[in-house]
Amino acid sequence: MHHKYVVRDGDAVWTGSTNWTDDSWTRQENVIVTVRSPDIAYAYTLTFDQLWESGQVENSGSDPRPVQVNGASVRPWFCPEHGEALSHRVAKHIGKARERVRIASPVLTSGPILATLVEVVNERRCDIGGIVDDTQVDQVFHQWRTNGVSEWKVPLLQRVLEGAEFSGKASIPWTPESLHDFMHAKVVVADDTTFVGSFNFSRSGERNAENVLEIRDAAIADRIALYVDELRARYPRATPPGG
């Protein structure tokens, strides 16, 4: 169960990537979004009630229907019910982008998203950059190389990290007792559309209980893209193992 959200009075939703821990608030990069909309609040409440009543993650999540909020189109997505559709939706917007793509994600392991990113990088369709957690990415490469099922993804992620402008945070490797200082934000900006929430852009994210807001609004996209660029400037270039 990977959600991190609050519904207040059936009127507002607080959501994003932030866990309710001391390290998450003080040591990690995260994104928080507040949406004041009874319709959005209802969608989140419905998903909460499904989880509360069934105790099962499988098949949880209301349908992703867009809502107008102060001139912005906001569509709430919930996994795992719509996990695969969400990955393809994100990939589609990345593929359509002609001005910019900005990404902040601890790892990038979703097949549709990786494949589309490689196309965008190879064809130089737009300005593309982002930030990952270097420590976690190194662990992903190791897992893929020791697991033949996923090894095909290795050259894709290498190409994305080497061909685009990605920075990497060298966080402390996770243990229960260690400081948890991961790069933990999870956002994609594709031109004027933003995807933001708890969802790691990964195969496992599709199967978890997750939520994402798809927001079509130029001002919000500009603000989130600027945040990603500020994070990129703090850390050195991402370095795939052997790169």
Helix (H) or strand (E) holding 50: helix 38-54
**5-234 CATH fold:** Endonuclease; Chain A (3.30.870)
Q: What is the pLDDT of residue 60?
A: 61
Residue 59 has pLDDT above 80, yes or no: no
Here the tokens at position 77 are 């997505």
Q: Residue 55 in contact with residue 61, Cβ under 8 Å? A: no
Average pLDDT, the chain: 93
Distance between CA atoms of 73 and 96, rounded to whole angstroms?
18
Q: What is the pLDDT of residue 148?
A: 80
Q: Residue 136 in contact with residue 106, Cβ under 8 Å? A: yes
Q: What is the pLDDT of residue 243?
A: 54
Here the tokens at position 112 are 């549709």
pTM, rounded to two decimals: 0.94
Q: What is the pLDDT of residue 176?
A: 86
Q: Would you say how long the chain is, in residues?
A: 243
Domain residue ranges in the chain: 5-234
Q: What is the pLDDT of residue 94?
A: 98
- β-bridge mates for residue 149, sequence order: none
Here the tokens at position 57 are 């993650």
Q: Residue 80 in contact with residue 61, Cβ under 8 Å? A: yes
Q: Worst-scoring range by mean pLDDT, 4-18, 62-76, 144-158, 199-213?
A: 199-213
Neighbours of 49 (CB within 10 A): 12
Work out the pLDDT band at 79, boundaries 50, 70, 90. Answer: confident
CA-CA-CA-CA dihedral for 85, 60, 72, 228, to nearest 10: -70
Distance between CA atoms of 233 and 226, rounded to whole angstroms?
11
- β-bridge mates for residue 211, sequence order: 78
Task: Name the residue with tokens 């009543």.
Answer: 53
The model's pLDDT over 191-238, given as tens digits with 9 standing for 90+, comes to: 999 999 999 898 777 877 899 999 999 999 999 999 999 999 999 999
DSSP 152: G
Residue 23 has pLDDT above 70, yes or no: yes
Work out the pLDDT band at 57, boundaries 50, 70, 90. Answer: low
* Residues in CB range of 217: below 8 A, 6 or more apart: 71, 72, 73, 192, 194
* Highest mean pLDDT (candidates 77-81, 141-145, 223-227): 223-227
Work out the pLDDT band at 54, boundaries 50, 70, 90. Answer: confident
Q: Residue 13 in contact with residue 35, Cβ under 8 Å? A: yes
Q: What is the pLDDT of residue 61?
A: 64
Q: In 132-217, which ranges are continuous DSSP H helix?
A: 134-146, 154-163, 203-207
SS3 223: helix
